């Protein structure tokens, strides 16, 4: 089966006037949503798959926006003809989340009331707020029911929230490396990152736009986060205790002596070139607020006909297999069909982005089953 890419794609924009009230009780006058689509919506509008991104992701999930782009979208290995989310069969949608910094309204966006960036005046948001905006986009595209919602990490939380908020609008959910709630340890890791940003002198209460940015604080936050995305085994095999200097002797100072130190600094400084520090604060806070109780999940599955596929990775200590399985239990208590796969991997939490070969046959088979369950024969095309 051929697995070439989706080619050149364009990021679209949707302007939403007078959107609903947020969980905080506040309301934005207008929300812009950046999104991309891949494949073709069938005549029955029954083949739509909503892809949901993780903390640092965006709407650009596959293909290239320009021929000169060095890299394709963040999940290009999974989206395209013949891939897990086969664009010869499915209409795939991906949007940047509310609070982001890649085209969807967030703290770096202009407040229409002041003509200045929202900065720290932007309302604190939740995963439910993000999903509410995604639902408005799906409605705009004329889709009443999604064949599937899917995502890894925070994207998996969004998929769970879709089941909670709109159980009748979701045919199935593919939740990857995510759990029903954020753990205390994960909240603590986020807090260290937020404090690094807030403590940077250039943060200035969030009002740094137009001047020096809190780049070092954001870089440190990314370093902390990146450690949690890897496994001990992968870090050991990649870096060990290797020193940067060829002599192999200690410098007896506080320079970057170890290869792993250099790697983390590179990851941090690369991140600040593409992400906004305030968005990092807002999105991590939204993740920390996420908590779907077992009883809530059971009610959501009971109110829908959605089938579940949950995927975990053996070395993921951020969202270990034991926590991913909790969603499976809720689905089965509600009498829903639910499948669970644990993929052996040394990549840690990052495996959901890197283990395309292992995930593809699992997801492909699951989606084909959803087609057979929900599509009228005349709506299917290849």
Catalytic residues: 153, 316, 349
What is the token pair recorded at 325?
């399985």
Using a CB cutoff of 8 Å and minimum separation of 24, what contacts does 339-344 make? 339/307, 339/308, 339/309, 339/310, 339/366, 340/309, 340/310, 340/311, 340/312, 341/309, 341/310, 341/311, 341/312, 342/311, 342/312, 342/313, 342/314, 343/311, 343/312, 343/313, 343/314, 344/314
The CA–CA distances, whole Å, from 118 to 126, 207, 274, 280, 333 equal: 17, 9, 19, 14, 44
Bridge-partner residues for 311, per DSSP?
A: 176, 341
Question: Within 13 Å of residue 100, how many CA atoms lie on the same side as its CB?
Answer: 28
Q: Among 169, 168, 96, which Cα is nearest to 134's?
A: 96
Strand order in the sheet with 48-52: 12-17, 30-38, 91-95, 48-52, 148-152, 172-176, 307-313, 338-343
The residue assigned the tokens 């009443």 is 144
How far is 311 from 359, CA to CA, in rounded Å? 8
Q: Among 334, 289, 104, 318, which Cα is nearest to 227's?
A: 318
How far is 369 from 269, CA to CA, in rounded Å? 43
Bridge-partner residues for 149, per DSSP?
A: 50, 173
φ, ψ dihedrals at 263, nearest 5°:
-60, -45
- Judge whether 107 and 119 are in contact, CB under 8 Å: yes
- Judge whether 217 and 277 are in contact, CB under 8 Å: yes
- Under DSSP, the state recorded for 167 is G
């Amino acid at each position: 089966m051929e697995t070439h890419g989706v080619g050149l794609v364009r990021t679209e924009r949707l302007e939403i006037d007078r959107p609903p009230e947020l969980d905080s009780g506040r309301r934005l006058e207008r929300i812009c949503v950046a999104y991309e689509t891949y494949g073709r919506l069938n005549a029955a509008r029954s083949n739509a798959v909503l892809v949901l991104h993780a903390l640092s992701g965006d709407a650009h999930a596959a293909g290239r926006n320009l021929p000169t782009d060095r890299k394709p979208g963040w999940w290009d290995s999974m989206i395209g003809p013949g891939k897990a989310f086969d664009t010869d069969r499915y209409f795939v949608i991906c949007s940047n989340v509310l609070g982001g910094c890649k085209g969807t309204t967030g703290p770096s966006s202009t407040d229409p009331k002041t003509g200045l960036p929202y900065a720290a005046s932007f309302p604190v948001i939740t995963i439910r707020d993000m999903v509410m905006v995604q639902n408005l986009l799906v409605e705009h595209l004329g889709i009443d029911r999604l064949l599937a919602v899917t995502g890894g990490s925070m994207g998996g939380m969004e998929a769970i929230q879709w089941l909670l908020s709109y159980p009748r609008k979701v045919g199935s959910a593919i939740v990857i490396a995510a759990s029903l709630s954020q753990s205390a340890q994960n909240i603590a890791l986020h807090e260290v990152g937020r404090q690094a940003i807030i403590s940077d002198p250039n943060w200035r209460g969030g009002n740094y736009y137009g001047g020096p940015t809190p780049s070092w604080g954001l870089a440190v936050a990314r370093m902390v986060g990146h450690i949690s995305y890897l496994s001990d085994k992968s870090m050991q095999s990649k870096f060990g205790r290797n020193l940067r200097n060829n002599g192999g002797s200690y410098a007896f100072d506080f320079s970057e002596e170890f290869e792993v130190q250099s790697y983390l600094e590179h990851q941090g400084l690369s991140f600040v070139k593409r992400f906004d520090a305030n968005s990092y604060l807002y999105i991590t806070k939204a993740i920390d607020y996420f908590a779907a109780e077992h009883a809530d999940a059971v009610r959501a599955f009971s109110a829908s006909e959605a089938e579940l596929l949950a995927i975990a990775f053996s070395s993921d200590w951020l969202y270990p297999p034991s926590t991913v399985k909790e969603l499976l239990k809720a689905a089965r208590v509600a009498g829903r069909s639910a499948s669970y796969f644990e993929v052996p991997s040394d990549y840690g939490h990052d495996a959901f982005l890197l283990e395309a070969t292992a995930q593809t046959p699992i997801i492909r088979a699951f989606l084909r089953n959803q087609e057979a369950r929900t599509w009228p024969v005349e709506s299917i095309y290849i």
